[in-house]
Chain A
């Protein structure tokens, strides 16, 4: 968001590189067609994102005692609390576990599935189509389905687990609730990793693979020394996108465990929700929100770097 100003400057002041020879004066350049076409989008986007961004910073220095109308100045109180609060530290830890475990599983399964589909001789298209369906499921419905299937008294998957001798209340147990919500995320988003890696595989240059084949390389050697190094950039892009998404959404956890039991699934976004709308401590929620935004911005920067730089 900080680059908004830079963008506006470049929009408003950039001299046109010579494709309108007789255009005299700054005014004509300012009102050139491109600027007039870009202005509505930039104005709307700025007013619904940059303005709220500064409002968020303002709110993080205020104290909203239940009523949101008359906040009092809180100084650095919310910020000091943010760094001292063991509950927030715990939520960041849960977020990290959720992200790392989820992404690791999605990466391994997603790449594995892409390689499998890549070498499928017949019906690849149908299998890819079926495999991608979970992507379209609303996250809140994905959470609901996980809950329904794993419900200990009538869930289909819980029933299968019971046949295998595992009789536990999955979402009611601190040690199993987090793995369960991670698996729901894995169910929905592994296919995206597969699609991304598969599209990369299909556009790989054929020469290195052919050269490896001529040299008598085995499947695993080709995978290790040709396919994976060539797809590295795509895999990094996929991981960055998914990390930002994990920061973005709370729907699955909201509907299944709401962060419980015993805070075992309370990722940072869920914590913010609770601070803001259950404890009505908007100022503190704003500080938490800015810390989340900070992480997203770091990830976004890395993403743009990977996208533009080689």
Chain B
């Protein structure tokens, strides 16, 4: 009798769990699914009421964007700006992160505070001085200006992340190599670096994502020629009529690569988004 009661309770708990999970999944995924579906509809089909979930998909919106518009240019701009800033952040951040982890610097807490508040500076507050400086040095509307802006948040991030990865590595193997005659830099390059390769890749992908997803910096610092896709998508919306078909297709192009890349490093996601506070 008691056993049967326990079984019933377990069953009820399971029904509850999976019902709640289903509702949660619909809430989380519906906007993304609806965007992708809408990008595959004809302009007329997008607005049919009641909304349609089953229809004949067409890639005409994508074809139009790539053939008629400047979409290819914006895509290229996005790729160049985010890759460049990621590259700079990774190179400087890996070297510096190793030094911070192994250099016995005192005041780790102060360094942490400085790096974290730099990383977390409100974009709106960072825009003002960068705007004035860029205007002075003729960097407005240039790709270089945008790369500098992205590096303000990607470099402190990479520096900090790489420091946490190196700090977790036991230094014994590096010491052994140095006893055998390797220089400190060789110990870093040949022994330590290969061991943190997964962390390096994860840090790089997260840097890429932060830059790729930026809208505010790009909306101020780019011109029509250097515009990135998040800015392009906002312009589709703010001009008199809203080109929803293109907006949904552009949105899809913005998020799909990040979904794939993000899931590839999901093991490090919490660590990255909590600045290493949670492993």
Contacts and interface: CB of A to CB of B under 8 A. Distances in A.
Q: Do A and B bind each other?
A: yes
B129 A56 contact: yes
Interface string A111-147: 0010011011100000101111111111111101111
Given A49-B118, A286-B129, A249 B216 contact: yes
Contacts of A144: 233-234, 237, 247, 251
Interface of A is mostly: helix
B120 A244 contact: yes
30 contacts: A1-B118, A7-B107, A10-B105, A10-B106, A33-B184, A34-B184, A35-B103, A51-B133, A52-B129, A55-B129, A120-B17, A134-B32, A135-B269, A136-B258, A138-B212, A145-B32, A149-B30, A187-B28, A199-B270, A237-B277, A237-B278, A245-B120, A248-B121, A248-B122, A248-B123, A268-B124, A269-B125, A289-B124, A296-B117, A304-B109
A44 interface: yes
A140 B234 contact: yes
B96 A282 contact: no
A24 interface: no
Contact of A116 (B21, B111, B183, B244): B21
B124 A250 contact: yes
A128 B90 CA distance: 29
Interface in A287-304: 288-290, 292-293, 296-297, 299-301, 303-304
Interface stretch (A171-179, A209-217, A222-230, A271-279): A271-279
B215 A296 contact: no
Contacts of B38: 148
Contact of B32 (A133, A139, A289): A133
B125 A1 contact: no
A136 B255 contact: yes
A289 B122 contact: yes
Shortest Cβ-Cβ A-B pairs, 8 listed: A41-B96, A289-B125, A34-B103, A138-B213, A52-B129, A38-B99, A269-B124, A140-B215
Interface string A197-214: 001100000000000000
Contacts of B105: 10-11, 14
Contacts of B29: 130, 133
B126 A52 contact: yes
Interface in A10-27: 10-11, 14, 16-17, 19
A141 B233 contact: yes
Interface string B2-15: 00000000000110
A99 interface: no
Contact of A59 (B99, B129, B220, B261): B129
Contacts of A10: 105-107, 110-111
Interface stretch (A82-90, A100-108, A188-196): A188-196
Contact of B258 (A14, A32, A56, A138): A138
A237 B259 CA distance: 25
Interface string B206-235: 000100111110011000000000100110
B35 interface: yes
Contact of A136 (B20, B117, B209): B209
Given A254-B216, A254-B234, A307-B112, A241 B273 contact: yes
B25 interface: yes
A129 to B, nearest CB: 7
B128 A59 contact: yes
Interface residues of A, number: 108
B25 A131 contact: yes
A2 B233 CA distance: 37
A48 B152 contact: yes
B74 interface: no
A154 interface: yes
A159 B50 contact: yes
A134 B269 CA distance: 13
A250 B123 contact: yes
Given A41-B155, A244-B120, A249-B123, 9 more contacts: A6-B110, A14-B104, A33-B99, A45-B92, A56-B128, A135-B273, A138-B258, A144-B237, A269-B123
A169 to B, nearest CB: 15
A136 B31 CA distance: 13
A234 interface: yes
